[in-house]
Copies of this chain bind each other. A is one copy, B any other.
Amino acid sequence: MRSEIGVGIIGTGFMGKAHAFAYRSVASYFPESAMPVLQVVADVNEAAAEAAKAQFGFRRATTDWRDLVADPAVAIVSITAPNVLHREIALAAAAAGKHIHCEKPLAPDATAARAMADAAAAAGVVTQAGFNYLQNPLIRLARDMIAAGELGEITSFRGIHAEDYMADPQAPWTWRLDPAGGGGVIADLGSHIIAMARFLLGGITHVNADLETAIASRPIAPGAAERRNVEVDDIARLTLRFARGCGGHVEANWVATGRKMHLAFEVAGSKGSLVFTQERLNELQFYRVGDDPRHAGFVRIEAGPQHAPYGRFCVAPGHQLGFNDLKVIEVAAFLQAIAGQAQGSGEAIGPDFREAWEIQKVIDTAIRSSASRSWQAVS
């Protein structure tokens, strides 16, 4: 008989829904996992909470996340509330002995992130931060290839996460612009590409960053004449040094007109290189030194069953995973970590709170570097 595990989700927006989709689907694709049961959904907006309850079949809805955390039927707490609330919720959940998934960025700053990681460790609960793009089988392939030395000695990383959802100067002020929540784009999108850089290449030791606000003020609400000054960054450019010895560059940009999902990187080594963009998430370009020069070039690898866990979703190559499938893989990894299971190569995929704290340190260092106009060691 298959075991069940109770889930509570805090927040019902983009990510709250994505989590609910994933928890409802995961058992089909990963039948060896525990069966998640949607127990409680929380949203400060009661109508939204009730709607989510109806849509996804939660047992109950609440407007109080504390109520959710306290519910004994809830074993997993999924935090998709605004960043500024992550710490308080996570600490409460850890204290209640719940396993915790928290959306990225983990916290407004590294101090908070560390507190969350420490609390979870002390409580002995399993944690996961929502860097779902790392769950792509092709990203896992990339990491494995780099780790196995297939690219030789790495010389350079260049990454970007660019979208345009804040490019319109009339796009109103949102909680993402609240400086109490940490940075602007460096936290929201920068955390993704920093997570990617670390996932592929390991530790970042030094940062030299230039953060800028491209749109100085925003309407306080959609259509409002009154505007509020923006105090966080719209564009972040980071020059990096990695612990392994190479350098790199990442950009985060949410005013990148025309870009919808341009999370992209190129990593070059002495024996090969890889090129990727999330715009075509089922493709990875690979160049290998030493091929017959008549035939040499970048190979367009298409995702297929040979790239686990793609085969869970489709037995045929080239049929393509979607964004929500990445969330399913993320949830599966979390459930397997909770069950003490190894996935694939013997380790759970994706950052836990300790790794998310490391990512947060890079973000904090970038903010510090930009403010001081100087190189800063990551700390």
Q: Are A214 and B165 in contact (CB under 8 A)?
A: no
Instruction: Give the Cβ gap from A192 to chain B, nearest Cβ, in Å.
Output: 13
Asked if A57 lies at the interface with its beta carbon under 8 angstroms from chain B, I say: yes
A247 contacts which of B56, B163, B210, B320 (Cβ < 8 Å)? Answer: B210
Chain A interface: which size bin?
35 or more
- Identify the closest chain B residue to A236 (Cβ): B247
CB distance from A243 to the nearest CB of B (A): 15
A228 touches B (CB below 8 Å): no
Q: Judge whether A20 and B28 touch: CB under 8 Å.
A: yes
Partner of A322, one of B27, B271, B288, B325: B325
For A56, A163, A165, A259, which residue has the most chain B Cβ atoms within 10 angstroms?
A259
A76-84, A86-94, A101-109, A300-308 - the one binding chain B: A300-308
Would you call A237 an interface residue if the criterion is a C-beta within 8 Å of the partner chain's C-beta atoms?
yes
Q: Which residue of B lies closest to A18 (CB)?
A: B314
A296 at the B interface (CB under 8 A): yes
- Of A2, A20, A210, A375, most buried by chain B (CB within 10 Å of CB) is A210
CB distance from A52 to the nearest CB of B (A): 10
Quick check: B301 and A297 within 8 Å, CB to CB? yes
Whether the pair A25, B27 counts as a contact (CB closer than 8 A) is: no
Main SS of chain A's interface residues? Answer: mixed
Copies in the complex: 4
**Contact at B293–A302, with CB atoms within 8 Å?**
no
B256 touches A273 (CB 8 A): yes
Interface stretch (choices A67-75, A112-120, A278-286, A345-353) = A278-286
Chain B nearest CB from A109 CB (Å) reads 23
Q: Which residues of the other chain, B, contact A256 by a CB distance below 8 angstroms?
A: 156, 266, 268, 273
- Which residues of chain B are within 8 angstroms of A259 by Cβ–Cβ distance? 268, 273, 318
Complex CA distance for A301 and B169, rounded to whole angstroms: 23
Closest CB of chain B to A321's CB: distance in Å? 4
Give the shortest distance, in Å, between A84 (CB) and chain B (any CB).
Answer: 21
Given contacts A255-B268, A295-B299, A374-B375, 17 further A-B contacts (CB under 8 A): A24-B28, A27-B57, A31-B55, A158-B251, A208-B208, A235-B247, A237-B239, A239-B239, A257-B268, A261-B316, A281-B320, A295-B301, A296-B301, A313-B324, A373-B374, A373-B375, A374-B374
Binding site for B on A (CB under 8 A): 2, 14, 17-18, 20-21, 24-25, 27-29, 31, 54-57, 141, 151, 155-156, 158, 160, 163-165, 167-169, 208, 210, 212, 214, 234-235, 237, 239, 241, 246-249, 251, 253, 255-261, 266, 268-273, 279-281, 286-289, 293-302, 304, 306-307, 313-325, 373-375
